[in-house]
Structure 1
Amino acid sequence: MEGGGDAAGEGTVTFATWIRRPENAHLAVIGKSQPSSLEVFSFDPRANSLSTSPKAKHEFEEGVNPVTIAVHPSGDNFVCSTNTGDCKLFRLYYREDNIELKTEELVPLQGLGLQKCLAFSVDGTRFATGGVDGCLRIFEWPNMRIILNEPSAHKSFQDMDFSLDSAFLASTSTDGSARVWNTTDGSPITTLTRNSDEKIGYCRFSKDGTKPFLFCSVQRGNTALTVVWDISTWQKIGHKRLLRKPASIMSVSLDGKYLALGSKDGDICVVEVKTMEVRHLSKRLHLASNIKSLEFCPSERIILSTSAEWGAVVTKLTVPADWKGLLLLLLLLLLLL
Structure 2
Amino acid sequence: MARRSRYHNNNNQTMYSTDHNEFPGTLASWIAGSKPSHGNDGDDIAHILLGKAGEQREDGRRTAILQLLRYNFKPDSLTEVNVLPEKDVPVSMAVHPGGDGVILSFSQGCKFFELDSGKSKLKVSDIVLSSMQDIGPQKCLAFSADGSKFAAGGEDGHLRIFEWPSLQVLLDQPKAHSSFKDLDFSLDSAFLASTSNDGPARVWDIIKAAPLATLTRDQGESIDFCRFSRDGTKPFLFCTVTKGGKTRIAVWDITTWRKLGGKKFLDNPISAFGISRNGKFLAIGSTKGDISIIDVQKMQVQHSIKRAHFGAVITSIEFASNGRALLSVSPEWAARVNTIPYERDWKDWQIYLLLLAMVLLSVILFYIFFEHSDSFWNFPLGREQPARPPIEAILGDRVSSDDQNIW
2:241 and 2:168 map into 1 onto residues whose CA distance is 34
Residue of structure 2 equivalent to 1:39 = 67
Kindly report which structure 2 residues correspond to 1:7-22, keeping only aligned pairs within 5 A, or say none. Answer: 12-22=24-34
Residue of structure 1 equivalent to 2:98 = 74
Q: CA deviation at 1:136?
A: 0.5
Which amino acid in 2 is paired with 1:129? Answer: A
Q: CA deviation at 1:58?
A: 1.7
Residue of structure 1 equivalent to 2:330 = 307
Residue of structure 1 equivalent to 2:260 = 237
Q: Judge conservation of contact 2:185–2:192 (CA < 8 Å) in 1.
A: yes
Q: CA deviation at 1:5?
A: 2.0
Which amino acid in 2 is paired with 1:49? Answer: S
Residue of structure 1 equivalent to 2:401 = none
Determine whether 1:126 maps to 2:149. Answer: yes
Q: Judge conservation of contact 1:20–1:73 (CA < 8 Å) in 2.
A: yes
Kindly report which structure 2 residues correspond to 1:42-61, keeping only aligned pairs within 5 A, or say none. Answer: 42-51=70-79, 53-54=80-81, 56-61=82-87
Q: CA deviation at 1:249?
A: 1.1
Q: Judge conservation of contact 1:257–1:272 (CA < 8 Å) in 2.
A: yes
Superposed CA deviations along residues 57-95 of structure 1, whole A, max 9, x for unmatched, are: 22102xx1111100001123010001x221000112214
Residue of structure 1 equivalent to 2:89 = 65
Q: CA deviation at 1:319?
A: 6.2
2:326 and 2:342 map into 1 onto residues whose CA distance is 12
Q: TM-score, normalised by structure 1?
A: 0.89
Superposed CA deviations along residues 219-256 of structure 1, whole A, max 9, x for unmatched, are: 12233211000000000011111123211110000011
1:8 and 1:109 map into 2 onto residues whose CA distance is 36
Which amino acid in 2 is paired with 1:294? Answer: I
1:31 and 1:12 map into 2 onto residues whose CA distance is 9
Cα pair distance change 1:58/1:287, threshold 3 Å: same
Which amino acid in 2 is paired with 1:31? Answer: G
Relative to its length, the structure with more strand (as a share) is 1
Q: Judge conservation of contact 1:289–1:309 (CA < 8 Å) in 2.
A: yes
Determine whether 1:4 maps to 2:16. Answer: yes
Kindly report which structure 2 residues correspond to 1:170-319, keeping only aligned pairs within 5 A, or say none. Answer: 170-318=193-341
Q: CA deviation at 1:10?
A: 7.2
RMSD (Å), alpha carbons: 2.3
Residue of structure 1 equivalent to 2:125 = 103
3-state SS of the aligned residue for 2:25?
Answer: strand
Q: CA deviation at 1:116?
A: 0.7
1:192 and 1:107 map into 2 onto residues whose CA distance is 34
Residue of structure 2 equivalent to 1:335 = none
3-state SS of the aligned residue for 2:91?
Answer: strand
Residues paired across the two proteins, number: 323
Q: CA deviation at 1:321?
A: 4.1
Superposed CA deviations along residues 3-57 of structure 1, whole A, max 9, x for unmatched, are: 3323899774011111124352231111111241111122212123322x22x32
1:211 and 1:223 map into 2 onto residues whose CA distance is 27
Which amino acid in 2 is paired with 1:58? Answer: L
Q: Gapped runs of 5+ residues in structure 2?
A: 1-5, 9-14, 38-45, 56-63, 355-407
